[in-house]
Amino acid sequence: MSFEALGLMPRLLQAVAEQGYSTPTPIQAQAIPAILDGRDVMGGAQTGTGKTAAFALPVLQILNQKGRSKSRCPRCLVLAPTRELAAQVGEFTATYGKNLTLRSTVVFGGVGINPQIDKLKRGVDILVATPGRLLDHVGQGTVSLSDVEILILDEADRMLDMGFIHDIKRVLKLLPNQRQNLLFSATYSDEIKRLADKLLDNPAMIEVARRNTAAEKVSQVVHPVGLKAKRVLLAQLIKDGNWERALVFTRTKHGANRLATYLEKNGIGAAAIHGNKSQTARTRALAEFKAGKVKILVATDIAARGLDIDKLPYVVNFDLPNVAEDYIHRIGRTGRAGCSGNAISLVSADEQKLLRPIERLLGKQIPIEIIDGFEQNQADKDEETFVDFRRSGKKSGGFSRSRSGGASRRSNGPSNRTAHAHR
């Protein structure tokens, strides 16, 4: 199927072609016609499959066909959970709509509000926002949501969880009752799905892959390692594998700072990105990483959702996430747009309780590779022995053989570099 067959107008087709897209992805092929027909949509697809274009292209066409708004108020509202994702959605929307006369803008916190107010005063058709800053504008009377015809929740599962649900409910009260609702995400729990059902009217349910699955071209592996030896192992993997770029996830902001500092001191260019950083610093670090000026970007989960980093070869879980679904979003930063990628998890003894639900969500066990010298680091004598929960809770001296064929072992010495599992 071609984009032409989906019913998109020539000016949008031109913009798509200029981006090098020739064939729609499955989520695009199913969602675009449904949205053009005016239906509510609940779309689930693996990360890196083009969900932004799946909603942006048809929305641009719908609004363009209706002409410019006389009220100068937004007719489409896109809500995103992070500043980085909001900025990215705004960038893609502007790119796809560059041949149209529609106006779009992005508002999020961490930056001055006055430039955003100026843009809103000039009028906007599509508004991309984080919930908190949107409500700031509403409170100041700088934006009205009374003309919104289309509501889009990007990374909808995150938008409907307890962290955002109260703000979302406040926003919903400001919107017209009659509107088109579009929800897109890579993961949906049953609870979130029940909440979403209350928002949608006879929606087109689009799931192009089994719910909560990782991208097929992402190779996943677990390296058991002592907690205090994690950063040593990470530095060695980077150096031995000659990694050019990697996105590394930590659980805490302070952990991200400490790890980035350690890598820098060991001759590996790194930057940290998290919620305590100024928006200017976050934007600069992400831009330098995308441009290849920084080799390693150490991040908390603000970088796990939706970010499109072209041809990123490695994602590392330095710490496993507390929520299993976040694992899928994290590793979805690699293996995007049909490319292959590598997801590496450094798992210490105290994290076994986090690995179990991740594997349950995936519906499979993640292969284990023990690296000699790191499975039980001497500096971690006070750390509990890793429990191999794959064998009835039996204690072992590390990860033991799994039902899927057993843990593999490789040396950490230079002589084994040609057999590196992640090169």
**Per-residue pLDDT, 414:** 36
Radius of gyration of the chain (CA): 23
Domain boundaries, the chain: 4-207, 218-419
Backbone angles phi, psi at 325, to 5 degrees: -60, -30
Q: Are 408 and 370 contacting, i.e. CB atoms less than 8 angstroms apart?
A: yes
2-16, 240-254, 328-342: least confident range: 328-342
pTM over 0.85: no
> How far out from the chain centre does Cα 183 lie?
15
Q: Is the pLDDT reported for residue 312 higher than 80?
A: yes
Task: Band the pLDDT of 60: cuts 50, 70, 90.
Answer: very high
Task: Band the pLDDT of 22: cuts 50, 70, 90.
Answer: confident
Residue with tokens 């199927």: 1
**Per-residue pLDDT, 215:** 62
Q: Dump strand ranges (E) for 283-332.
A: 296-299, 314-317
pLDDT in tens, 192-207: 777 788 889 999 988 8
44-48, 138-142, 249-253: least confident range: 44-48
85-94, 172-181, 255-264, 407-416: least confident range: 407-416
Q: Give me the mean pLDDT over the 344-357 stretch.
A: 93
Q: Which of 95, 84, 183 has its CA nearest to residue 130?
A: 84
Q: Which residue has the higher pLDDT, 93 or 408?
A: 93
Region of 106 please: left (phi>0), alpha (psi -120 to 50) or beta: beta
Q: Which residue has the higher pLDDT, 227 or 61?
A: 61
Distance CA 221, CA 223 (A): 7
Angle at 239 between CA 300 and CA 284, to 5 degrees: 40
Q: Give me the mean pLDDT over the 72-100 stretch.
A: 93
Q: How many CB atoms lie within 10 A of CB 408?
A: 13
- Is domain 218-419 given the CATH code 3.40.50.300 in the classification? yes
Distance CA 15, CA 87 (A): 19
Instruction: Tell me whether domains 4-207 and 218-419 share a fold.
Output: yes
Average pLDDT of every residue of the chain: 83
Q: Domain 4-207 falls in which CATH fold?
A: Rossmann fold (3.40.50)
